[in-house]
Every structure is written in structure tokens, then in C-alpha cells.
Structure 1
Amino acid sequence: MQACRGWLESHPGFEPDEPRRWNVRETAGGSVLVLAPHPDDEIIGCGGTLLRYREAGAVVSVVYLTEGSGAAALADVPVDNRAAVRRREAEKVAEHMGFEEVLFWGRPDGRLACTDDVVERMRALLDHLRPSVIFVPFCTDPHPDHVAANRILVEAIKQRGGPGRPRPLNVLGYEVWGMVPPHVYCPIDTEIGRKLQLLLLYRTGMKAEDYVRYTRDLGAYRAYTLTGRTGFVEVFAHFNEAEYLRVVEPADSAAEHRTTGGP
């Protein structure tokens, strides 16, 4: 919460007025891309909303940016097997979600970096999918991989091209380890049960952290404080393309953090 308040103080034009209900059907006609720095981020932060997109007929794709081997619960698993364990869990979740494209980029957990090769890969993916909605952890999230995901996305957006005019882009920053400015929210009362069941498929992470309780409590708290009712919502910071480039790059000095090549 403190990081979010600090961000709003330094970005006075982005204080949320009255949080708006996000219209899934209005944006379901285009491609939806989810950036998950680790397997389970996508369900924690936006799993219910993604279920609503799938129900609306949207084409949803996900990129797992790191191999997720840094999970605390993997301490008793041989090092060489850790990434495979996390991938199997993510594949099962992706199958249940009905994701169109499921990509595993396998970058080192905890060391995701905005390198030229990763930016180029992201740019090519944006040109291929031409998404109208991109979900990514909010840029003030304290996890370094979540910050790096924003830096990569910013650079890739600046470089994207391809034939035809790109679709109008909506970037939705989701909540994992930090709260976001509540620009928009999506009610997930009918999806919360499935969301929590999907989280349980990430058995490894659940051994160390009770993500089910955390996610359920956050959704209930957000619903009550934003709408004055009981239930569950997911909350997002919402930016169009120009806004996203303006707020993320200066705040995180993306250009200064870029390096050459891979790890």
C-alpha cells in the first residue's frame, strides 16, 4: 500500500477517481496477453478476470517469463528438477484455463532482466498476437522479476511494428505482492471458486504460502472497500499505450537498466 501511495504522489494525474467496472465483453474481441513472471502470478493477480475473458470467447495467451525454480517449497527437490516441476503445474493450469498459446521462456527465477534478446522476443510476440489487452504485474510490485517484466514490455511496445495499424492497447497492472491504484475492477463472484481451485493446482507454491487464503481475502477486501458490498473483485491499474510508456519508463529508468545478450 505504501509503495502505491508513493507512486500516486509522484504521478498526480493518475489518482483513481471513481473506480470503473472493467467491461470484459467490450475488449474480448481482440487478443489478450498475460505476462506471468512466475507460474501462479497469472492466477493470483487476474485468474478470475481471465476466466471471464475465456467465457466471453476471447483468445488468451500466456508467457511464463521465468522457470519459477526459486519457490521456497522446492528446497527439497533436486536443483535439476525444479523447473520441470513448476512447468508441469503451469501446463495443467493452462489446460484448464484454455489458453491459446502457452509460452515458457525459462529465464532464471529472480534474475529476469531487460536484455536485448528478451525485448526482441517480446516485440515479435506483440507483432504476432497484436493484443488489445495486456496483463502484467503493476510496476511498483516489490519483486524484481515483476519490475523487470514491465521494463521488457515498455521496450517491446516502443519497438513493435508489423503490417497494419496496431490495435488500441490496454495495459492492466495486476496485484501480486503489492496493491495497485484501483482504476478499474472486475467482479469475480461467480469465478472465485474456480480461481481458488486453479491455485491449488500450483501445489508446490501452496506448500510454502497459503495463496488461496491470501487471494480470497484480498478479493473480498477490495470488493467491500471499492463497491461497498460483499463479494470478490480483482483490481487493476489501467493505462493506454501512451500512458504506460510515460509512467513506467521514467519511474523505473528502463533504458538505463537494459543490458546486452542473455544471462
Structure 2
Amino acid sequence: MLGMIRRILNKIESIYKYKYLAQNEDGAYQFILKNVFKNTDIDFIEKAFQLDYFRQILVPQKIDFSNLRKVLVLAPHQDDEVIGCGGVLLRLKELNAEVQIIFLTDGKEMSNQESSVEIRTKEAKEVGKFLGAKIKNLAIDNVSLQIENHHIKQLETWINEDFDAIFTVWPLDNPPKHRLCSFLTGKVFENLSLVNTPVYLYSVHTDLMPNFYEDITDLIDMKQKIIKMYPSQMQVQRYDHLSLGLDAWRTRFLPVSNEIRYIETFCKIPVKSYVDFQNIYKQENVNILFKGHETCIESFKRLKKM
């Protein structure tokens, strides 16, 4: 009898939480970071964030661009920025906002180490020129992943400006190198003690639970164009095709409609709350966290001590 009553009370509590999530703009952040993150492991979190059930209880808000006059975008590799938030970058261009894009790695590829950095750097400069964005490259070796103190100090200097918002990759994005870059980003956030700057997390490979979105239906053709401005990456995977499908699929978070629509989705959190991700990273089994990627694991271990 007591067990049945306990189950009923738990059910009532869960319903209350779900209704709160749907009605409160910060509900997703409060629920996930304050409760789930501190009581479970990263493998579960990664799956939980992708549960399609949550689209029934989340009501993402449209991004308000009125106060976004100076924006920073952090990207692990050259092309992640246009796949993850190319529509937002195009919108910021329309609004004549000041945009800086920082690439964290040099983009070196194992198969052609001599020329790949030069090729991807050139492509990124063309994209930056088209978007009217200032391009910077932290140039961490994308093969050795050797992160040094000078990389951290340089990134601190670049980030420590008065940005209205920071866009950076989702810490649970599937590629191990993206996760390593996320941990580096969080380390810099901690060192700078940033307080008021909002962070918009975007996904490249692994979808997230959104609390904000931007309708890019009017920009979708242009987004396809800037993704194709990385022809070296098109030879590996047709990211323009994959991105188009994802931006269409994400409209399931909007009210039902028979219109053809495309949106980019984001998880917006206060920058100070990035520490929640840092703590989980530090406590997690590194083999699970980095999918057994030995170079990422060794780099992560060194970075934790720096």
C-alpha cells in the first residue's frame, strides 16, 4: 500500500515538473543542469537529451537579436560554425552585428597533414569574408591535440571582451574532439569568472534539448551555400545535405504546420553554469566520455592538471 502511494506521489511530482518546464523559459536549464546532471552519468544524459518525448513539454523561445550587437562564436573545426549556427550567423550579418569566430583547432587531417591546414584556413577566411566576421584561429594541432598553456592564455584574452552572447558547441556533441574543445572552453570560462554573458549551445552531430531557436526558412538556401564554401569537407561527407535534414526535423519543436520550415535550435544557459558540464566531465569515465579516443583521453588528462 505504501509503495503504491509513493508511486502515485512520484507521478504527481513528475507531472508538476513537466508542466513547469513547458511554462517556464528557463525550465529546461533548471531541470537538466540542476537535477539530472548531479544525479546520473554522462551516458544517460546523452541519451536523455535526445528523447523525442521532450518535444511535447518544451516550448522553445525565439532568439531576441535586439541586444546582440557583439557576438562570439567558438567552433572546434572549420565548418562546425556554419553547420551548427550558420543561419544565426547570416541573421547577424543582416543586422550588421559585430561577429568574431574563433576556431579552436587548426583542422589538420591525418590523411594529408601537409596541405589540409592551409586548405581549411583558406576556406574559413572566405566564409568569414562572406559573413563579415572576424576570424581567429587558436590552432591547436588537430592530430596530436597537444594543448599548451599559451593556448589557454590566448583564448582567455580573446574571450575576455564585452560580448553580448557566446555561441559554442554542445558539450555532449558526439565527436570526442568536440568534447575536448568543450572542456577547454569551460576551463577558460572558469578562469575568467564570467558572470552575465549568456551562452547558446549549438549542435553539429548530436541533437540537444532546445530552449531557444531561430527560424531560418528564409535563409536556408544561403546556409547551404556557406556550408558548401568548405569543399574539402564535402568530399568526406555531404554536410549540406545532413544539415538541411536536421534543420527541417527540428521544426517538430514548433506548433504543428504543413508549411516547409527550417530552424536552428539552441540550449541557452548562463555562462557561470557551464561549470556543471565541467564537473561531470571531471567525474566521468574518460573512456566513455571520449568514446575510447586515446589522443583525446591523454589530452584531457593533461588539460585537467593545467
Q: Same fold (TM over 0.5)?
A: yes
In angstroms, what is the RMSD of aligned CA positions? 2.7
Tell me what 1:242 maps to: 272
Aligned length: 242
Any stretches of 5+ residues in structure 1 without a counterpart?
none
Q: Which of 26, 49, 64 does residue 66 from structure 2 map onto? A: 26
1:169–1:241 CA contact under 8 A, matched in 2: yes
1:28–1:57 Cα contact (<8 Å) kept: no
CA distance in 2, matches of 1:111, 1:141: 20
In the alignment, what sits opposite 1:140?
172
The alignment-based identity, stated in percent, is 22
Q: Would the aligned equivalents of 1:133 and 1:171 in 2 still touch at CA under 8 Å?
A: yes
Secondary structure of the corresponding residue to residue 33 of structure 1: strand
- Decide whether the 8 Å contact of 1:132 with 1:167 is kept in 2: no
User: Which residue is 1:259 aligned to?
Assistant: 302
Residues 1:37 and 2:67 are matched in the alignment: no
Offset at 1:258? 5.4
Matched residue of 1:259: which SS? helix
Contact 2:63 2:212 (8 Å CA) reproduced: no
- Report the Cα offset of residue 111 of structure 1: 4.5
Tell me how far apart the structure 2 counterparts of residues 19 and 111 of structure 1 sit (CA, whole Å).
42
Q: Which has the larger radius of gyration?
A: 2
Residue 162 of structure 2 corresponds to residue 123 of structure 1: no
Distance (Å, rounded) in 2 between the aligned partners of 1:7 and 1:114: 26
Structure 2: 5+ residue runs without aligned partners?
1-41, 287-299
Alignment of 1:101-116 (within 5 A): 101-112=134-145, 115-116=148-149
Alpha-carbon shift at residue 222 of structure 1 (Å) = 0.5
Deviation (angstroms), 1:253: 1.3
Partner residue of 2:123 out of 83, 89, 96: 89
2:4 match = none
Residue of structure 2 equivalent to 1:53: 92
2:192 to 160, 173, 180: 160
Task: Determine if contact 1:34/1:62 at 8 Å carries over to the other structure.
Answer: yes
Correspondent of 2:107 among 65, 68, 73: 68
Query: Which residue is 2:199 aligned to?
Result: 171
Could you tell me how far apart the structure 1 residues matched to 2:43 and 2:216 are? 23
| 1:25 to 1:79, Cα distance in 2 relative to 1, 3 A | closer
**Deviation at 1:90?**
0.8
> What is residue 29 of structure 2 aligned with on the other side?
none
Name the CA shift for 1:253/1:222 in 2 (closer, same or farther; >3 Å). Answer: same
Taking structure 2 as the reference length, what is the TM-score of the superposition? 0.71
Which one-letter code corresponds to 1:201 in the other structure?
M
Give 1:107's aligned amino acid: I
Offset from partner CA, 1:198-257 (integer Å, 9 cap, x none) = 1111001111211111001100110134342330000111111222222x1112119x94
